[in-house]
Structure 1
Amino acid sequence: MNKNMIKGMIVFTTIVERGSMSAAAQQLNLSSSAVSQQVTKLEMDMGISLLHRNTRNLTLTEAGSLFYKNCCKVIAIVETTEQKLNNLKGIPSGELKIAAPIGFGGGLLSEPFKYLLAAHPQISLNLLLQDGPIDIVNDGIDLAICIGPLSDSNLIARHLADWRMLLCVSPDYLPMHKNIHHPTELAAFNRVNHTYARVNHACTKSEILTHNHSQARFELASSRIAVNNMQALIQFTLDGLGFAALPEPEIYKYLKSGQLVTLLPEWSLSTYKVYSVTSARDKQPAKVKEALNTLSQYFGQSGFCQPVKRGAA
């Protein structure tokens, strides 16, 4: 149903309710001829007369009476839909479907979501936790939290944070970890690696570490264990299966308790870049805008994860 049909219905119902074309024209701020033309067009489109016309009044035909009742229903649906759409644009409401890596379910999102739900009681949250690629459009995702650069240029990414990646190990696996001073010395030990990190470095099979102004490449080929889940990667490291490069916020509590220690504290790995990602639509619903603002404010705070002194046992 096009806009012209809706306009014709509004004109027709106004004529019926006001009792004349001139009264309808006055209410709708239209000329009498414009109102008459709308009725004529409706009757031509329907192929049947809707009004009995005489010099003194207008009355509905049988078809006109049926058409009027259904016009009222259609106009009510249109008005209700417009109101709901306006509410979505102006008031954050409805289900907010967010996808994030599994590791974010360990408390990293609790504070921003707690604030978001308290500030906007009409929002409900549906959180999908999974590692690996996400199809935002086909899965109906409003917003995704992703790591690293995007391969899909049709999506819009907003930078949230840069997290330090730390080389970590269980003290039981490398009791002499403090005597390791260069990345090449790690070749003798098992590395537990994230599957997607290994894929991202497939062309070079190595990762750059920086020490002051010097750099070294750490060979990923020595990895004997690969897993596609960050929480499993952390657990394998805690259990002493080897060492791993882990994002600081996700292992802060283990560093603080001494369950993990850092290796080569003088060397720096590339950062763990966190992005919020949405589909490339011109206008986002208010619920998505509020979620983006809340996540940006939270992750943009310096010190939301207190750094642990690197190399501490």
Structure 2
Amino acid sequence: MRSIVLTKGVPDFSEGAVSFDEDGHLERGKTPTVMNPNDEKALQAALQTKVRHGGHVSGMSMGPPGYGEVLGEAMEEVYADDLYLLSDRELAASDTWATAITLCTGIEKYADEIGGVDLVFAGFKTADGETGQTGPQTCWGLEWPIVTHVLALDIDPDERRLRAKRLVEGDRDEIETVEAPLPCVVIADPEFSPTYRKASHRLTHKRLRAETRERAEEYEEHMTTWNQQDLNLDPEYIGLDGSPTIVSSVDPIPKAPSEREATVIEPGGEGMEELFGEMNEFAAARGD
């Protein structure tokens, strides 16, 4: 069983980490990059498949060289065997369509060199774009079946079929069970939760975690970088030139008003006695 997990780096939107310019626009160069939160569910789905059925898992991302750190985190999370970074200045400013073309080409190159792919896992959507288009568009390029909003899944290796429970959103949330032949693309729902009911699965999970710790520390030695020439991509279909999306305007993000008051107390200062008095009241309320 050979799987690829797609992941992306996004700005860290946690409080205090985001940097804005004077006009309220995001400054990516001054804002830390973290793994897209929804991709963690795709990683969990791929790991569950590896634990239950064995095989090889590769992490793949398209982005600047700094995304290598995100892939290193992915290796640690999914116990990936190796990593692939699609990185080139020619790929900059890609919208979801140009990104999907690049990822699709990377997956096909991987399959040609390694000997096929059974599953591609992707997250529901990214925290910076919120479109949820890249996974399905990549699937369209591969001409594979796709199963979205996956809550649970398992594989029948002999029949080469995937069986999954997926969330259907409508007038009310419903869950349906579907099947699809391999290879296929799996879009994990934010509510996906891996399960390891058998003792053998839990032991395998523990063994893989131990094996991966050392590998993840030296993730760069297990990472292959492909540029535009390696992928033989037509410049007209990648980057800004290959992106049909037109952004008419970008609205600044207003700074949130401060709703908290803080009192600064110097160590050993006059306010320390009052501070300890207030802390004791809370401790007494908890029975501590």
Give the alignment's TM-score, normalised by structure 2: 0.24
Q: Which has the larger radius of gyration?
A: 1
The structure where helix makes up a greater share of residues is: 1
